[in-house]
């Protein structure tokens, strides 16, 4: 499914009203409204549709529309279509209220009835909780008490929540219980915008629709897998959140384990939501638990010091960032090795790493295949045979890269490395996208395939919890331990070197080099 071009088989989304709690934050103007605009450009937004913004700002609907109109052009790419925005913004309403005040929900309910009458929407509502996590339980409880979460045969009510889904295993379980007090699991859509990226969705198609990939997607042919989510930026304006979370909590139970589950799952019986999610859950539950002793050798943490980025920019250390303690023990880098205890992946290590102020902004999954036998090259100038590597690039330019050996021209038997590089934009264009279009569209249509189930969330935390416990009990003594602009602390390299492997050298794709 393409996010912003009219899909051949895609139908207009189900008529509804989208209610955004916490609409005064950046997410609404940077991602959510641009996504709705892109869906409208694609012809996928229903004609019977409305948007209600809820926040504490003391303004009216007209003033809120003016605010959103001021910088919408900044957050949507391509040729801006003023008529599309004009049509969307007239459907935008604002409610000033307190998330903890029941009267605010009564007011909201009255406005929704009014919009249903004016816009012809049928009473189906999508509630998007763009709020701090501490409000998730409160808002859903208030929605339930006000009757706004009640579904009928003809009316649906769904709630989207953003990560973090808890900050450890116990809090994740508590949040799930709190949500289930007011909502059925089928009404809860836990969003991870990584699953809205085309490459992540295409992994399923690439694996299961091509006879050349799936037969060799197992321990018999794959040596190991590396998943990298590297950020070149620092903590920016998120210090208050990041000091509590750190790289491990912020990225691994969410983004990296999402990528892992898609890469490692068994073929689902269909592309129905439950079938896909069941197989993803099985992968996470099959991860071998880490003992406290394992954590010492299977997990690495780091914090960046001052340094120079590749473009020459001099940046300060994490501890010098506003809002960060001068002796902070918060990790800005985390890496881990894990094993999946099932037949397909027996003996294949998965290496995960993520960090801030690294040498590049890059997200990729690298599958390294087993090295071909050298025996037939013994009496030739060939010194070694390089293993094949398949790289699934997720950002900045989405695509797939495959490296393989080929004979160099000439009379001698010499091998060179060849790269086949497929970029989505070259074949399918590069339409404007925020990564949220597909997810919002799917939620409107009741398709939960790309959203996290409660079991998925808890299974992810079950892997991470032992690392959290050991790192809490043994504060780091060497922070900061890597320079900004590098690829992380030295122990991260040791994580692979102990196994006779090394991190893949990440280089820009052909398209990135061209731009």
Catalytic residue set: 255
- Print the SS3 string covering 377-432: HCCCCCCCCCCCEEEEEEECCCEEEEEEEEECCCCCCCEEEEEEEEEHHHHHCCCC
Residue with tokens 């990939």, as numbered in its chain: 213
Query: Residue 244, Cβ neighbours under 10 Å: how many?
Result: 12
Element (H, E) at 294: helix 292-298
CB 172 within 8 A of CB 165: yes
CA dihedral over 169, 159, 96, 13, signed as positive or negative: positive
CB 304 within 8 A of CB 356: yes
How far is residue 493's CA from residue 483's CA, in Å, rounded to a whole number?
A: 15
**333 to 50, 229, 354, 369, 489: CA distances (angstroms):** 41, 10, 6, 27, 8
How far is residue 185's CA from residue 108's CA, in Å, rounded to a whole number?
A: 24
Residue among 287, 298, 299 nearest 334 (CA):
299
Q: 218 in helix, strand or coil? A: coil
How far is residue 366's CA from residue 351's CA, in Å, rounded to a whole number?
A: 10
Q: Are strands 16-21 and 49-55 parallel, antiparallel or unpaired?
A: parallel
Give the angle 40-43-48 at the CA atoms, nearest 5°: 70
DSSP string, 1-59: --SSS--SS--PPPPEEEEEETTTSHHIIIIIHHHHHHHHHTT-S-SSEEEEEEES---
- Print the SS3 string covering 345-361: CCCCEEEEEEECCECCC
């Amino acid at each position: 499914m393409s996010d912003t071009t009219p899909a051949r088989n895609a139908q207009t989304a189900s008529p509804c009203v989208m209610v955004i709690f916490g609409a005064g934050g950046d997410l609404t103007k940077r991602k959510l409204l641009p996504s709705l605009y892109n869906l409208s450009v694609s012809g996928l937004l229903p004609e019977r549709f409305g948007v209600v913004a809820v926040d504490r700002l003391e303004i009216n609907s007209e003033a809120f529309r003016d605010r959103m109109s001021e910088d919408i052009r900044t957050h949507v790419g391509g040729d801006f279509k003023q008529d599309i925005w004009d049509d969307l913004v007239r459907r935008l309403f604002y409610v000033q209220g307190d998330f903890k005040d029941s009267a605010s929900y009564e007011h909201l309910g009255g406005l929704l009835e009014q919009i249903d009458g004016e816009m012809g929407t049928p009473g189906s509502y999508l509630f998007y909780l763009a709020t701090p996590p501490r409000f998730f339980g409160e808002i859903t409880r208030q929605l339930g008490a006000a009757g706004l979460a009640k579904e009928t045969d003809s009316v649906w009510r769904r709630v989207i929540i953003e990560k973090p889904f808890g900050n450890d295993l116990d809090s994740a379980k508590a949040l799930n219980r709190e949500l289930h007090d007011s909502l059925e699991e089928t009404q809860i859509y836990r969003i991870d915008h990584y699953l809205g990226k085309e490459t992540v969705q295409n992994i399923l198609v690439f694996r299961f629709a091509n006879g050349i990939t799936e037969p060799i997607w197992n321990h018999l042919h794959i040596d190991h897998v590396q998943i990298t989510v590297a950020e070149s930026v620092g903590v920016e304006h998120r210090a208050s959140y990041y000091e509590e979370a750190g790289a491990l909590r912020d990225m691994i139970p969410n983004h990296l384990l999402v990528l892992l589950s898609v890469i490692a799952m068994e073929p689902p019986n269909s592309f129905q939501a439950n079938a896909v999610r069941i197989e993803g859950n099985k992968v996470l539950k099959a991860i071998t638990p880490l003992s406290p002793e394992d954590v010492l050798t299977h997990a690495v943490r780091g914090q960046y010091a001052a340094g120079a980025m590749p473009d020459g920019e001099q940046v300060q250390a994490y501890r010098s960032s506003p809002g960060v303690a001068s002796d902070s023990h918060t990790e800005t880098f985390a890496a881990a090795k894990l094993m999946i205890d099932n037949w397909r992946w027996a003996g294949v290590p998965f290496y995960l790493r993520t960090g801030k102020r690294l040498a590049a902004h890059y997200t990729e999954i690298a599958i390294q295949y087993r090295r071909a036998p050298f025996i037939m090259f013994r009496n030739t100038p060939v010194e070694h045979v390089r293993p094949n590597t398949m790289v699934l690039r997720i950002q900045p330019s989405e695509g797939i890269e495959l490296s393989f050996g080929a004979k160099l021209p000439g009379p001698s038997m010499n091998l060179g490395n060849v790269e086949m590089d497929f970029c989505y934009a070259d074949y399918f264009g590069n339409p404007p996208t925020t990564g949220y279009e597909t997810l919002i569209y799917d939620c409107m249509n009741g398709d939960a395939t790309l959203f996290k189930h409660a079991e998925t969330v808890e299974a992810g935390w079950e892997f991470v919890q032992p690392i959290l416990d050991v790192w809490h009990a043994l504060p780091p003594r060497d922070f900061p331990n890597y320079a900004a602009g590098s690829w992380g602390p030295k122990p991260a390299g040791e994580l692979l070197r102990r196994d006779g492997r090394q991190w893949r050298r990440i280089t820009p794709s052909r398209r990135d080099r061209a731009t």
